[in-house]
Amino acid sequence: MAASRFNIISNSVGKNWKFFKESVRHFWQVGTLVHSSGWLINSLLANVDFENARVIVEFGPGSGCVTRELLRRMRPDARLYSFELNAVFYEEVSSIKDARLTAVHGNAMEAAQMLESGSVDCVVSGLPMGNFEKCAKLGVLGAVHAVLKPHGHFSQFQYSLLDYRLMRRHFDTVNLGYTPFNFPPAFVYRCVQG
């Protein structure tokens, strides 16, 4: 029993250390040093209609904490496409054993070439948009618009309100959430395409 607990703790510490090292190495690409909290994950997924969603896209899954929760809540016949640019995190996400998951080693903008236009129910993003140049932000939002169905949902978290106006210009509806129980505390943009 004690050995089992030790293995669980050791495995958890190892994964957290791996995430931390990769975050320090590529901070501008990762945007944080710690995993998202359960509160942030719940806030990020609040507008996903899991009962009806058949195709979900995830941008920037990192080590997969949101990915695992998406898979836990999804329908058995739904599909999840997770786009991760970082090679270490891609390997971690692609190791998740679930036939509904397609891990893609590439950037978010590749979703527009890979997926049929207007075929996605929801896009969930953990990308550090606050670290991106304006042209990269516009590229990501362009990919979101290209793949989302009419009235599809886009959820993006950020540690500031830096892109609130940008979201308002690109989506018909933008609801703002706030999660104080995360490090650092985070805002969640919950957007709806018209």
Contact 81, 70 (CB under 8 A): no
Contact 34, 183 (CB under 8 A): yes
Contact 22, 84 (CB under 8 A): no
Q: Report whether pLDDT(79) > 60.
A: yes
Q: What are phi and psi of 102, to 5 degrees?
A: -120, 110
Domains of the chain are: 2-192 (3.40.50.150)
Mean pLDDT of the chain: 87
**114-172: pLDDT as tens digits:** 999 999 999 999 999 988 899 999 999 999 999 999 999 999 999 899 999 999 999 99
25 pLDDT band, cuts 50/70/90, is low
Cα 13 to Cα 5, 124, 193, distances in angstroms: 12, 26, 40
